[in-house]
Structure 1
Amino acid sequence: MKKLILIRHAEAESILESLTDFDRPLTSKGKQDAAQMAAFLLNSGNLPQITITSPAVRALATAHIFTATLGLDDAVINAKIYEANVDALLQLLNRLEDQYETACLVGHNPGISNLLYFLTGKITTIPTAAWAEVELEADRWAEVSSGTGKMLQYKYT
């Protein structure tokens, strides 16, 4: 059985004339929320062997807070996560190396929420800084598909 931790980036600054959507940083509240949610994940005891993140500033900062809190290697950046739909995120998961029993994906809505619903049939919108742990009825990442997930935990601020 594989496990997947889905994290939506923490709260980001509003779009300003000087910033593109991609470059929006976390707010102070977003940083605090991400640290709190990372601590909850640390206490859950199920840590990922790999964390993959969108390169957008807010997602990258969220991933950094999680990996630092969890004592993990830096997140792997994958540009395909930014603005990804379920099909793109599923392809990413299906291509993961099977050596990883638990993987973590840090991204954006609607993709992250839609992927959670696609896998589990549960939760249609994940708020900022929230995470969900999903157990997958798959021994290989290539076997992950619609309905193969069971939600184990869901945490939000």
Structure 2
Amino acid sequence: MKELLLIRHAKSAWDDPSLTDRDRPLNGRGKRDAAFMGSLLRFRGLEPDRIVSSPARRARKTARLIAGEVGYDKDAIVIEEGVYLGGGQAIAALVQTLSDDDERVYLVGHNPGLSEAASRLTGENLGEMPTCGIVAIEFPVDSWAHVMEGAGRLKFLDYPKKHLSP
């Protein structure tokens, strides 16, 4: 059984128009949300075997904050260029190249690609993932190469605002 957690980067800052898209940092809320979601993953016992991140600053920071909460070595995060601008199909194809040594993988990236990939892999229309949203998908396979579109089972969709008190 393989398990993929697609994680959209946390809320980013837009206050410096001189920064390129790749260089936008997280804002204060984004940093808090990433740490919070990481603590939820730890509480659920969903520590990763591997974390793969987009090279964009906001995605890398989200990955590092979550890694710190789940006890994953921040220096072991794999930076994958294809996650930055990859659409749903490209991200689904990337999943098929993951190492079979890893049972549970976090993939930290961006919309619309992650939302499209989640829908492709589960065969369900999950809509737009919110910032720092997590879609957990199970695949009844022994090899990532055997992951097929529509064959994943949605375990959960979670995001920070879901945990706010009314």
If the TM-score is normalised by the length of the shorter chain, which range does it land in? over 0.9
Matched, 1:36 2:36: yes
Correspondence 1:105-144 to 2 at 5 A? 105-120=107-122, 121-144=124-147
Amino acid corresponding to residue 69 of structure 2 in structure 1: T
Shift of 1:15: 6.4
Distance 1:77-1:119 versus aligned 2 partners, 3 A rule: same
Identity, % of aligned positions: 39
Deviations 1:84-140 (A, max 9, x none): 112221222111111111111000000111111111114121000111211113221
Q: Distance in 2 between matches of 1:46 and 1:36?
A: 14
Aligned-pair RMSD on alpha carbons?
Answer: 1.2
Taking structure 2 as the reference length, the TM-score comes to 0.90
Q: How does 1:44-83 map to 2 (within 5 A)?
A: 44-74=44-74, 75-83=77-85
Stretches (4+) displaced over 4 A: none
Distance 1:52 1:84 in 2: 13
Give 5+ residue unaligned stretches, structure 1.
none
Instruction: Report the Cα distance in structure 2 between the residues aligned to 1:154 and 1:53, rounded to whole angstroms.
Output: 19
* CA contact 2:89–2:120 (8 Å) conserved in 1: no
Which whole-Å CA distance do the structure 2 matches of 1:32 and 1:59 have between them?
A: 14
Unpaired runs of 5+ residues, structure 2, are 161-166
Match of 1:150 in 2: 153
Per-residue CA deviation, residues 34-75 of structure 1 (Å, 9 max, x unaligned), is: 111111111111221000000100000000001111111221
Counterpart secondary structure, 1:22: helix
- In the alignment, what sits opposite 2:101? 99
Aligned residues: 157
State the TM-score, normalizing by the size of structure 1: 0.95
The yes-or-no answer on 1:19 pairing with 2:22 is no
